[in-house]
Amino acid sequence: MSSTAPELRIAGPAVSVLEDPALFANRELSLLDFNRRVLELARDPELPLLERLRFLCICSTNLDEFFEIRVAGLKQQLEHGVDASGADGLSAAAQLQRIEERAHELVADQYRELNEVLLPNLREVGVQVLRRDEWNEAASSWVEAYFERNVLPVLTPIGLDPAHPFPRVINKALNFIVSVEGDDAFSRESRVAIVQVPRSLPRVIRMEHGSAENEVDFVLLSSVIHAHVGRLFPGMSVTGCYQFRVTRNSDLFVDEEEADDLLSAVAGELLSRRYGDAVRLEVALECPEKVREFLREQFELEPADVYRVDGPVNLHRLDALHGVVATPGLRFASFRPGLPRRAARGVSLFDTLRDGDLLLHHPFESFNPVLDLVRQAAADPQCLAIKQTLYRVGADSPVIDALVRAAQAGKEVTAVIELRARFDEARNIQMAHRLSEAGANVVYGVVGYKCHAKLLMVVRREGEQIRRYVHLGTGNYHAGTARAYTDLSYMTVDEQVGADVHALFMQITGLGEAAKTERIIHAPFTLQQRLIEQIEAEAEAAKRGEEASIVARMNSLSDPKIIRALYQASQAGVRIDLLVRGICCLRPGVPGVSENIRVRSVLGRFLEHSRVYRFENGGEPRVWCGSADWMQRNLYRRVEAAVRIDDPALADRVVRESLAFYFEDNVRAWELDAGGQWERVPRGHGERREAQSRLLEGLADLDV
């Protein structure tokens, strides 16, 4: 990948320079670049060892989803003869070829880091994942007893013969292909069997075999099975045993126009996810070519779809170590999220919000005030109704508990549940059943659009007046991710915001024309249009010689229309600073096109998730917080919302904490060059400025 600016290829005078494919990076390759940056965190010697291992596991999990969704989609395009390219001009076939090259390299680097750096370094501090050839007599005896007691009873080998064809292997499950020799009781000639490992068994097992006092020993389930796989074939000799894992297409297909009941349709598709078309095969490095080819043919894959790995095929399972190893200094220091005095526990949030808007910056500040708003509304006799969108909320959610109590208390509860929130479908179906049984109105979003907006509205009677208390967030109503993702919560009783949110709920649950709103812009109707209008307004201001700037942060940037608008603004002289965590299809620094655009990515302890946009607006800045990335799916195929923060103090705080700190970061930042290369921002000799650490120090309680 070149680090020089792309050469513009203009086909003729009728073709605009901004249509040139060289100006657009490929979405899928950019996503792989993001995973490369995650892997770099696993390599960072400044980070605690178990956190580095966790980043390695995150990279592995991200790759799983990349193959399940993105690679699977490209393979489907080829299968159906669809070869339409995006703004970057790459066909599906060309994308797959480049993905294969980079993905194989990335996987090899993952295992190299695991085997040559992380596991040896963990061993030095007394945390050992023992290989079979490292077991002493005590360890071997312990493993044998563990296998007999916990593993053997649940394993079912499948000998391959006409009566036992190759089994339907579950998506991403651990499996073994075993070759044996000897006499079979039924005189069957097959000498090959498949052993599927149930997901109920833990993959990382803590050993209790009398290790040294300062050592904590673990063994992988794959090693336990491998060592005793012969017990599954009595009287026969095992001649080969190799682990493998297959990744399948996991994108659900639901024809919403044809489905009479969306909940039943999604539930019916969940099982098929386990057995979708294979897209990748991972096999142990020592697996012989003949066996690899046999497996590849069974899954109807190409040679490039086979990944030989030097370690566990389910690498991400090593993340279990993070939760069970208590050795000091191997994890990030704990902290207690801060809690603004105005939102202290036991304080009425209705009183608090009538005194002024509230802004919370998670995870540095507590998510409890958001939960408390729902809880207090459920118990408040003056509360008439609660309306809320639910995308991801987690198991045993306190939000759902409160909504159930509110519905059972006779309040009007409306829950807009997005059943198709990827990989949370089953949990959301259970949540929908529970709310329905409690008497809540449950709506499954809008046919053809995912409901991704984060909206909560509490309607309360106060004397002769009806007030709407509103929460709008950049993240989900998930108490767990609120401690791991950086997000903003905006809480207000502002009449206009309340009216706007009410109009959005009416639009989502009912029928009618697009909602007319003042403080909120929303997809798929006004969000993209208003963003482009504000970008164009900055360009016009720059042309008049006025100060003009755009500063924005998001997870991903890929919408060609917005990218072209940003290019035009740059050409007009607008200073544009973009903070993009993941996918970025814009190329900054291209002469004559994007010299005035800078793109940064900051990765650290917490997943950067906030979406914030600031426009100079002639010296009266407009600051927006919302749920939407600048991607086609968010702007065209989702229900999204962004709210304008009008309180000057809160707007300044949003800009300082979510934008300025990150552009000053010289520890965890990368910058993108015109050739599409991400380069780590050099530390230099000045003060160490790490955005997330500054926010922890300023907002959270670190003395825990």
Residues involved in catalysis:
452
* Rounded Cα distance, 613 and 576, in Å: 11
Tell me whether strands 465-473 and 678-680 are parallel, antiparallel or unpaired.
unpaired
Question: What helix, strand, coil percent values describe the chain, rounded to 5?
Answer: 40, 25, 35
Order of strands, sheet of 175-181, starting from the edge strand that comes earlier in the sequence: 156-159, 192-196, 175-181, 237-248, 278-284, 306-309
Q: Quote the DSSP letter at residue 197.
A: P
Q: Assign 3-class secondary structure to 264-290.
A: HHHHHHHHHHCCCCEEEEEEECCCCHH
Here the tokens at position 609 are: 């998730």
* Neighbour-count burial for 312-341, b at 16+ CB within 10 Å, e otherwise: bbbbbbbbbbeeebebeebbeeebebbbee
* Rounded Cα distance, 219 and 206, in Å: 7
Name, in order, each residue with C-beta under 8 angstroms of 325's C-beta and a sequence gap of 6 or more: 50, 127, 216
> Exposed, middle or buried by CB within 10 Å (0-12, 13-18, 19+), for 294?
middle
**Polymer length of the chain:** 704
φ, ψ of residue 61 to 5 degrees: the values are -65, -40
Question: 485: closest CA among 578, 604, 569, 593?
Answer: 604
Dihedral in degrees, nearest 10, Cα atoms 427, 428, 429, 435: 110
* Rounded Cα distance, 214 and 204, in Å: 19
Q: Where are the beta strands (DSSP E) in 557-602?
A: 575-580, 597-602
Cα distances (Å, whole numbers) of residue 393 to 265, 478, 492: 21, 4, 22
Q: Where are the beta strands (DSSP E) in 375-484?
A: 383-390, 412-417, 441-443, 450-451, 455-462, 465-473
Here the tokens at position 242 are: 């190799």
Question: 233: closest CA among 180, 190, 273, 277?
Answer: 180
* Rounded Cα distance, 13 and 29, in Å: 30
* Neighbour-count burial for 129-141, b at 16+ CB within 10 Å, e otherwise: bbeeeebeeebee
Cα distances (Å, whole numbers) of residue 667 to 29, 46, 662: 25, 10, 10
Dihedral in degrees, nearest 10, Cα atoms 118, 123, 125, 127: 100
Where do we find the tokens 């309180």?
647
* Cα three-residue angle 29-561-79, rounded to 5 degrees: 45
Contact 477, 397 (CB under 8 A): yes
Contact 415, 436 (CB under 8 A): no
* Rounded Cα distance, 401 and 226, in Å: 44
Contact 388, 360 (CB under 8 A): no
Contact 402, 378 (CB under 8 A): yes
